[in-house]
Structure 1
Amino acid sequence: MSVIAEFRVSSTGFELGRILSVSSESTIELERLVPIGEAAVPLFWVHNSTRESFLQAIRDHSAVNDATEVDVFEDRTLFTLDWDASQDRFFDCLQRSAGQLLSATGTAENWNFEIRFPSHDDLSEFTDRCESANISLAMDRVYNPTSPDAGPWYGLTEPQREAMTLAVRMGYYDIPRGCTTKELAEKLDISDQAVTERLRRAIVSLVTNTLAAKPNE
């Protein structure tokens, strides 16, 4: 049975985190890893950062071949990164343990990961490999998405459930929308960006634990 792990890694604790260094006001959201031949090219959003200086800092890194802007908006920019992934022992451990990246967000201090493994044994192998590679993991949550003891929230954390419930009640998903993320943020006393991320992660958890769940695995 598959298992999902949510954990934190220091931004300086793995190669990609060191490459994608941001200021304290900025955050990074990994959109996905795009397979290019045998490599995996990261596609990621950077929020509230000066893109010119950020892009130059990335390109100056010895492990980076190139970094490119894909989409530019007022408060965020989508980048793609061509880099030598063989130098990143974290992603090597992840690949060797058959881990599937569900979400990853980074700040100046830490990256938060949500990873799905085929079994608890694979998760244990991953943590052992990270320990051998001197990569420190701060585990926040481990659960079986198809297990009855996962509870009625289908893998949602309490803040995710609160945000999703409020969004539905205030008509955020109605057409036309009954509220904005700014109004949700005011109700929850968090930032507009945090609301967007919390809702996105909630939807990922709901789909993973319902539509994508395979009880007979």
Structure 2
Amino acid sequence: MSLIAEFSLRSSDLILTTALDAAPGTTVELEQQMATRSDAPVVLFWAFGGEFDRLEDGLRRDATVRDSTVIEELGEKVLYRARLESDELVAIYPYYQRLGAAPLAATGTHEGWQRRVRFPDRESVIEMRQFCADSGVEFRLHRLYTPGDAEFEDEFGLSPEQREALTVAQRAGYFDVPRAVSLDELGEQLDISGQSASERLRRGVSKLVTNTLLSDFS
């Protein structure tokens, strides 16, 4: 079953890093990324934030950009087309293709990139994270969820309810020796029964251990 991952990437070797550093008030959204017959992939991206002069100056100095042009101006947004320097890039997009992953959205600022990508399975997300680590790119997973499912998992594989139960239990002293609260008292704090609190804690602990201590995902 495929999974959608929302994560952030940070590295000086990612596309447009120098350009975005030159215009810290600007945000860019990738519109399209295309491979070409030459060795220079092409990206289309919208920019907004008002610092277009600073952004364009940064684009001229950005080692990851061979050249760029303005395609369209629409109110306070500008659409750019940029040819990239392959030798200067961490090849993130080709690795998505290798994994069978489909990029859905990408937003960049001077603080890094926010990505939303559909992966074929959890193992491919783990491979992506390892690729980033090997390439010197900081990878931080924020959400992991099944398409069409309103409930999402956090970076540890926990649902919101499981994370809440574990957090409340820790703060209430449930894991202390001796325990400061009973399961029934914990359930009252969570507005569920003691039995439901017990099941939620067990499942949360199981996921936490599986996805950290017993997984390369940790």
TM score, norm. by length of structure 1? 0.60
Distance in 2 between residues matched to 1:93 and 1:47, nearest whole Å:
28
Query: Cα distance, 1:25 vs. partner?
Result: 2.2
Query: Cα distance, 1:96 vs. partner?
Result: 3.0
Distance in 2 between residues matched to 1:152 and 1:110, nearest whole Å:
26
1:88–1:47 CA distance, 2 compared to 1 (3 A): same
Question: 110, 113, 121: which is aligned to 2:112?
Answer: 110
Hey, what does 2:15 align to over in structure 1? 16
1:5–1:14 CA distance, 2 compared to 1 (3 A): farther
Hey, what does 1:28 align to over in structure 2? 28
Amino acid in the other structure paired with 2:112: N
Unaligned 5+ runs, structure 1: 154-217
Hey, what does 1:45 align to over in structure 2? 46
Query: Cα distance, 1:2 vs. partner?
Result: 1.3
1:61–1:110 CA distance, 2 compared to 1 (3 A): closer
Distance in 1 between residues matched to 2:86 and 2:96, nearest whole Å:
12
Query: Cα distance, 1:82 vs. partner?
Result: 0.4
| 1:149-198 CA distance string (max 9 Å, x none) | x2479xxxxxxxxxxxxxxxxxxxxxxxxxxxxxxxxxxxxxxxxxxxxx
Q: Which one has a bigger Cα radius of gyration?
A: 2
| 1:48-91 CA distance string (max 9 Å, x none) | 23323322321233332210100013311100110123432251
CA RMSD of aligned residues (A): 2.5
Within a 5 Å distance, the mapping from 1:144-183 to structure 2 comes to 144-145=146-147, 150-151=149-150
Distance in 2 between residues matched to 1:126 and 1:40, nearest whole Å:
21
Amino acid in the other structure paired with 2:35: P
Distance in 1 between residues matched to 2:41 and 2:85, nearest whole Å:
9
Q: Comparing 72-81 with 37-46, which one deviates more in the overlay?
A: 37-46
Distance in 2 between residues matched to 1:34 and 1:70, nearest whole Å:
16
TM score, norm. by length of structure 2? 0.60
Amino acid in the other structure paired with 2:114: N
1:86–1:120 CA distance, 2 compared to 1 (3 A): farther
